[in-house]
Structure 1
Amino acid sequence: MTTSALAAGLAVTTVAEQAADAIRRKIIAGELPEGFQLRQDALAAELGISRIPVREALVQLEGEGLVRIVPHKGAVVSEMSVAEINELFMLRVLLEPLLLKKSVPRLTPADFAQLDTILAEYKEELHAQNPTRWGELNTQVHNLLMSRADQPRTAAIVTTLLQQTDRYTRLQLSLSAESCQRAEEEHEELVRLCKAGEVRAAASLLKHHIEHARAELEKFILSRRRK
């Protein structure tokens, strides 16, 4: 790749990120309501850029859960269900601490080494503002912590719940830098407590961690709808 081609690639990436920031702010502020169709040509004209970085921005926002890209229709602002959030996250609050309590005493040094690796990557992706990996890495941390519970049916239910809350997790982390920092710190503390064998404290933190995410999402969605 030539120097000019590389510079052009970097410029497009920068413009796409700026476009994503602008569209994200409008969605979070409620200026673009749920179900609103995001036309690439209109957005490009409004932002004074070409359609290529707008398209890349919409793909990025889809990764954050703020946008859905629908075949034959294009991008629309995602619809967020408070009822769905409450149901999914409360089921996680009920089930995940139970699995964690059974799993922690059986976790091995190899498990904790793998957790440290995942946490390092999670921290890197949070700091890099790369939301497409946030949900995946969050799920890996939670699943690995519960992997030794020896309750496969309950574990399968929790895995499904984590998949169903993936877009909400990415949205919650994208709301603010404080949300990212809190998630990073709570995951690190959760693993530390598990390593120390402090099962009850770990289960309590996990419950609080999930409940806080639910409450933050509910507050965001309700405040957006009042605007």
Structure 2
Amino acid sequence: MSLFEVQQSLSLKQQAYEGIKNAIVLHEIPPGSALFERDLSENLKISRTPVREAILLLEMEGWLTSIPRKGTFVSKITTSDVEEVIQIRKALELLVIELLIPKITEGDVKQLHEIYVKQLDYVKDNGQFISIDKDFHIYLAELSGNQRLINLMGTISDQIRWFGVSALNLPNRNEQTLKEHAWIIECLKNKEVEKAKEAVSEHIEHTRLAILSSVGLSE
């Protein structure tokens, strides 16, 4: 989804919010970039009032930073941002594995594999690839049956995409991600809890290192 593709059924404020946020997440508006209400209004074909309201909401959520007498800017990605989100993600996903293993069915594994195959089709399209990546991990959370856990995963999923989309520009990172997903699926198919947790841990660690490298941050 680009800056211009939003559901027309949403309110104008929500259309502006979704359009700007998705552009930020996918680095169509890169970290550190200045935002201008007029340009956003013209691009989104929405009046400046809902755009201004969306900007205020995005600032409250931490996506934007306003500097007096200078303007409003997309927040920059910092090492601490990445480390904190990755720590939370790892804790949540390991719990997901523990909860879903006893109840996962052949149908669930088949559905995971279908998501994997769909992701294969977009290995050269980073935007679609990382969107399907989100689907893969959210579906794992849904299989846990824990609604609060699902909600928590949903809460951090956009930040994970924001950090991760630049990592997909690294050589062979998309292909490596697919291999890691395939390993996770295989472990889940065999209901091997410890191996599945190991697969998830390695996947998250490789993602962490790729993100830090891609955005020019050191460990």
Q: Give your verdict on TM over 0.5.
A: yes
TM-score (norm 1): 0.63
Counterpart of 2:94 in structure 1 is 97
Does the Cα contact within 8 Å between 1:88 and 1:161 map onto a contact in 2?
A: yes
Unaligned runs of 5+ in 2: 1-22, 44-72
Q: Does the C-alpha gap of structure 1 residues 64 and 160 become closer, same or farther in structure 2, counting only changes over 3 Å? A: same
Distance in 1 (alpha carbons) for counterparts of 2:28 and 2:80: 17
Runs of 4+ in 1 over 6 A off after TM superposition: 74-78
Q: Does the C-alpha gap of structure 1 residues 180 and 111 become closer, same or farther in structure 2, counting only changes over 3 Å? A: same
- Give the match's secondary structure for 2:204: helix
Matches within 5 A, 1:37-52: none
Question: What's the % identity of the aligned pairs?
Answer: 19
Matches within 5 A, 1:138-157: 138-157=133-152
Q: What RMSD, in angstroms, separates the aligned Cα atoms of the two structures? A: 2.7
Matched, 1:165 2:127: no
User: Counterpart of 1:72 in structure 2: which amino acid?
Assistant: R
Counterpart of 1:32 in structure 2 is none
Distance in 1 (alpha carbons) for counterparts of 2:158 and 2:25: 14
Counterpart of 1:67 in structure 2 is 29
- Give the match's secondary structure for 1:146: helix
Aligned length: 162
- Give the match's secondary structure for 1:184: helix
Larger radius of gyration: 1
Q: CA deviation at 1:77?
A: 8.6
Does the Cα contact within 8 Å between 1:67 and 1:78 map onto a contact in 2?
A: no
TM-score (norm 2): 0.65
Matched, 1:208 2:202: yes
Counterpart of 1:193 in structure 2 is 187
Q: CA deviation at 1:121?
A: 0.9
Distance in 2 (alpha carbons) for counterparts of 1:66 and 1:220: 16
